A and B are shown apart, each in its own frame.
Chain A
Amino acid sequence: QKEVEQNSGPLSVPEGAIASLNCTYSDRGSQSFFWYRQYSGKSPELIMSIYSNGDKEDGRFTAQLNKASQYVSLLIRDSQPSDSATYLCAGTGGGNKLTFGTGTQLKVEL
């Protein structure tokens, strides 16, 4: 079982819609979780971090963490074509190592 799992997509949403990206993790000892955005040919860019259960909002982005169910999600409101990228979920587990999922490709269509 992979430590961090994501649906590879692609996930297609129309411009202006809400994009919902999901991630599950296997290590119950995981303490911190992150969402990164990666454009083709570029390195990952941090967009959200979340450490406790519940929601965390930053502009058009909302991260949600549910430790009991071991999932993390990212909502992108009012999706724009510039949001088209691969979104990587990452978590720091009990071994203190930062592990990434395979990423979900998001396409925002005009």
Chain B
Amino acid sequence: EVQLVESGGGLVQPGGSLRLSCAASGFTFSSYAMHWVRQAPGKGLEYVSAISSNGGSTYYANSVKGRFTISRDNSKNTLYLQMGSLRAEDMAVYYCARGDYILTGYYDYWGQGTLVTVSS
């Protein structure tokens, strides 16, 4: 059974940093591109970032470019999102999702999400 489990969310002050993790199981992690999607409270889905299966290619939404870094450790079946210079508008539930490619709107499995709260 495919499972994606996010962790690392919590309360952080504006300007602070946080690292999210997404532990994958039930599939060959190293064969799939992975994605982060977020959802602010009461709002819609927003695409955040993507990484290719071997980690060689990454993409970022303009809203997080230069502040967030996506990475993966295929030996640990884990996806990461390092978030820095956090702003109030970054407060959201962050989902990791499996994609068929890196440049895609296809996400067939999603984690349960982890909440990031940015507040002083």
A, B: real partners: no
Binding site for A on B (CB under 8 A): none
Binding site for B on A (CB under 8 A): none
